[in-house]
Amino acid sequence: MSKSSNTLFAFALGAGVGAALGILFAPDTGANTRDRLTFKLSKYKKELEELIEELVEGKELHLNEAKTEGKRVITEAKNKAENLLNDVNKLIDQINQGNN
């Protein structure tokens, strides 16, 4: 993970732990506290899953873009090399014709 992803993950984890501790130490019945805690943790879990999915999709997008760009560069280099080779062959033919 990148540094910003780690920071975002640490922040989300800290917020979740803080909320859980706040609920646990709040003056309420055990059943209500457990219900609220379950709801909050489910909500944080869903948000974290969405964040992870976005990060994975973004990474795949960058990989696809890099592959496409790499293929384009290789194709351009191949075309330039073929053009240079053709030019060299023409020069060699001209030199050979001049010697005859």
Q: What is the predicted pLDDT for the residue at 26? A: 67
In three-state secondary structure terms, 1 is coil
Q: In this model, does residue 32 exceed pLDDT 80?
A: no
Residue 23 CB neighbours (<10 A): 19
Q: Which residue has the tokens 């055990």?
A: 30
pTM metric for this prediction: 0.38
Q: In this model, does residue 1 exceed pLDDT 80?
A: no
Alpha helices in the chain (DSSP H): 3-24, 30-99
